[in-house]
Structure 1
Amino acid sequence: MAGKSASTPPNPLIITGKAPDTPLNVQLHPLALLTISDYITRHTLRSQQGPVVGAIIGEQSGRDFTLEHAFECKLEEHHGDVLVDSGWFTERLEQYRDVHKAPPLDLVAMFALGPVEGPQEVHLPVLKQVQQLTGNDSIMLLLFHGELVDQLQGGKLPISLYESVQEQEGAQLRFRELSFEVETGEAEMIGVDTVAKAGSTAVAVQKADTAQSGESSKKAAGKGKGKAKDKDTKIDEDGDLAGVLSPEDDELIASLTAKTNAIRMLNQRINLIRSYLNTMPSSYLTDASSTTPPPDTTNHSLLRSVNSLLSRVPLLAPQTVSVVLPNGQEGHSQPPPSGIHAAGEKERQDVHLTSLLAALSRSVAEAQSMGSKFQILTREKENKARNTYGSGGGRGGGRGFADEGLMGDVSGSGVS
């Protein structure tokens, strides 16, 4: 590796010699690199104390590993050794496992800052602790070499990857350097391209080292208010460069940059399809006079995909209709609604119809409930009135019968 000298004494923690019969096949993804570099950059610019330690999750299939995502770790000091917060680390790792279930990702490596010579004694406590927490003895170690950032050229990365090896029970943990490949997808390519272009136009904002230097800088800025150069380098009360974009402006620029990159990639794909179709001979499907059959090397599945793509274009971009105005000039009328707009309007009408049907059903249910309650009240009133009338008639009838009996007795007595 660049930066290693022949006079440098060998690192006792690194295993040298014959490589294993079945070496590990490691694929490093750019998203992990972006997270690591962002963490180290923030840690350096903010002058934060303590080491830089983080975890990398990926997928393992036998001897094949992928390093896909990374996150920084919360540290604590224990008996002079810097370790990770075990409770926090276990909870955060479980959260990442819940998020990345398909395909399932798990902890595969730890990253930290380190020299070119390789792992040091300070890296061992953290690695051993993580191995005990996860029960995985094959966790790798990725070292970021900050001193090589400005020296490497030709696309080389200032990182080294090591495999942890426990040769004997109770022996000291040692490492074997691994080779790796950088694997990326289309989404990661867009992200890396955006970061690279944004980094090419970035401006480093440095704070004044002391209050005196900040005061002198403000005085120098105040003397040259009439000059454009001094306006660009004006320093505010905190010692920072004035005129830095606000968070809203940064968000707007990032959004516009992402849209620009998407449009540029779309234009490239369209040009690629057009150039491919231009190389194809004329087809008998579009030219009736053509008698030349398509060549045997024609990719019919690709042509069907292109045809399917073209059939969906009118749904997104309707064509304008040319009309002749009364004054004889040619103009463009309002374009007819496209298929996607018609589908959206139909969907909107269905939603309104569904809400109206729900309201109508609710009204019918309330009316039915009201009718049932009214019927129950009417029946109760009728029963109460009937019971009242029946009770009064019964009492009157009883008295009549008693009087009748009494009169019978009297008349009987008189006859006798």
Structure 2
Amino acid sequence: MAGQQASPNPLVTGTAPDTSLNVQLHPLVLLTISDYITRRALRSQQGPVVGAIIGQQNGRNITLEHAFECKLDEQHGNVVLDGEWFQERLEQYRDVHKAPALDLVAMFTLGPVGGPQEVHLPLLRQVHELTSTEGIMLLLFHGELVDHLQGGKLPISLYKTVHEREGEQMQMKFRELSFEVETGEAEMIGVDFVAKGGGNATAVPKQETVQTAESSKKEKGKGKGKAKEKDEETNGEAVSSALSPEDEELIASLTAKANAIKMLNQRINLIRSYLETQPQSYLTDAYSNTPPPDTTNHTLLRSVNSLLSRVPLLAPPSVAHPSDGSSNTTTPSSLERAGDKERQDVHLTSLLASLTRSVSEAQSMGSKFHIVQREKQSKERGGGNFGGGGGFGGGGRPARGLGSFAEEGYFGESGGL
């Protein structure tokens, strides 16, 4: 490994890395550490980088899930933690992450590739005293390896503390641990957001910022009107150069599609170049007696044949153009015929619904007409029985004869009214 010390580190045990522990490192820890180091570099801040990592420990399974930077102090020439601040901040993180319960599992800092140094020992001893916890791990970030790593390796190393007897005293040493990166859905969203926004982030040097501030002060003294116009132009350029989230998402989508098409083209060219190396008679003539070469990959040829058989299902066949110059210039493809069939089914369903509605309305009209006709016939039968005799009743009232008046006493003894 580049940058590794020639002589072995006396603080690191010579045994192989411990694989008995199942350590899972989450990307949020890496993002926090990289953000912390990047901000210090851009601000030209000096001093050590120290932080804490909280997670879970269930038996031999340990997770490193969240990290935060620590406030430092100097005592007797050694850099140590601000004990009161550290305990208060750690308790706040414990209150926030109660389900599942998280606790301090490791500390992170910068270090060489060779492993921990003597300056790291006072820090770990102080953490042991403040938390009354043994076995706090140490994560070292190797800044000199950032520009030299390949193959997806991370510039970090993880160590756990062990005590070994040297003579009559117990010495604290370190043993390297193996780890794996574990991520969840929420972390994937956060990492994706950081990856998309990282392309738009720019670092402005401090000297350039000071010069810009001084030039703006000089311009303000020349005239408010000109300065205001220049500020408006600058703001307009900044607004026009910035992309909205929708535009960034569209660009990312188009870029992904372009990469997919490019890869598909490369795969097709690779298949074509392989088929061109095969004998023509073996590929085109099914009754050819020419034996295939010994290097023929029959599994690959079967896969190519299966792929070609599925192509008509994915894309419509080519459209045939008649050569007689007739008005029918195109022949409907299978996709167009399927679309026409679907449209016909929709129109037929709509027509059946209209026909059913018309039949229902006609049936309702026939029932109403039957009721009206029956009422009309009943009225006609009533008028013929009572109104045809004339007399006093003309309006359907029954006629009364002279005998009924005589019986009721309307005529006197003399026969008059």
CA RMSD of aligned residues (A): 3.8
Which residue is 1:14 aligned to? Answer: 12
How much does 1:170 deviate? Answer: 4.9
Q: Is the 8 A contact 2:74 2:80 kept in 1?
A: yes
**Is the 2:111–2:142 Cα contact (8 Å) retained in structure 1?**
yes
- Give the counterpart letter for 2:9 in structure 1: N
Name the residue aligned to 1:150.
147
Q: Which residue of 1 aligns with 2:415?
A: none
The letter of the residue matching 1:91 is E
Deviations 1:245-304 (A, max 9, x none): 69xx99x95xx379959x97xxx9xxxxxxxxxx9xxxxxxxxxxxxxxxxxxxxxxxxx
Give the whole-Å Cα distance in 2 for the aligned partners of 1:146 and 1:19: 22
Residue 117 (structure 1) aligned with residue 143 (structure 2):
no
Rounded to whole Å, the distance in 1 between the matches of 2:53 and 2:119 is 19
Change (3 A) 1:121 1:101: same
Q: Measured at CA, do residues 259 and 64 of structure 1 come closer, stay the same or move farther in structure 2, by a change above 3 Å?
A: farther
CA distance in 1, matches of 2:79, 2:31: 25
- Alignment: residue pair count: 239
Structure 1 residue aligned with 2:40:
43
* Contact 1:32-1:70 within 8 A present in 2 as well: yes
Q: Within 2, Cα distance between the matches of 1:257 and 1:128?
A: 51
Structure 1 residues 94 and 33: CA distance shift in structure 2, 3 A: same
Q: Which amino acid aligns with 1:148?
A: L
| TM-aligned CA distance change 1:176 to 1:204, over 3 Å | same
Distance 1:17-1:205 versus aligned 2 partners, 3 A rule: same
Partner of 2:196: 197
- How far apart are the structure 2 equivalents of 1:32 and 1:117? 22
2:131 to 123, 129, 134: 134
Percent of matched pairs sharing the same residue:
65
| Structure 2 Cα separation of the partners of residues 245 and 193 of structure 1 | 25
Alignment partner for residue 156 of structure 2, among 159, 176, 179? 159
Deviations 1:102-128 (A, max 9, x none): 111000000001111111111111111
Higher RCO (Cα < 8 Å, 6 or more apart): 2
- The AA in structure 2 aligned to 1:195 is V
Instruction: Give the distance between the partners of 2:96 and 2:54, measured in 1 at CA.
Output: 12
CA contact (8 A) 1:119 1:143 kept: yes
Deviations 1:340-363 (A, max 9, x none): xxxxxxxxxxxxxxxxxxxxxxxx
Deviations 1:322-375 (A, max 9, x none): xxxxxxxxxxxxxxxxxxxxxxxxxxxxxxxxxxxxxxxxxxxxxxxxxxxxxx
CA distance in structure 2 between the partners assigned to 1:142 and 1:244 by the alignment: 44
- The 1-side partners of 2:118 and 2:71 are apart by 20
Q: Structure 1's 101 and 257: CA in aligned 2 closer, same or farther, altered over 3 A?
A: farther
Partner of 1:89: 86
Question: For residue 35 of structure 2, what is the amino acid of its counterpart?
Answer: D
**Conserved? CA contact 2:17–2:178, under 8 Å:** no
Q: Which has the higher Rg, Structure 1 or Structure 2?
A: 2
- Residues 139-186 of structure 1: CA deviation (Å, up to 9, x unaligned): 000011111111112221111111111224952311111111000011
2:174 matches 1:175: yes
Unaligned runs of 5+ in 1: 223-235, 269-278, 280-416
CA distance in structure 1 between the aligned counterparts of 2:6 and 2:202, rounded to whole angstroms: 37
2:58 partner amino acid:
S
State the SS of the aligned residue for 1:177.
Answer: strand
Distance 2:89 2:172 in 1: 26
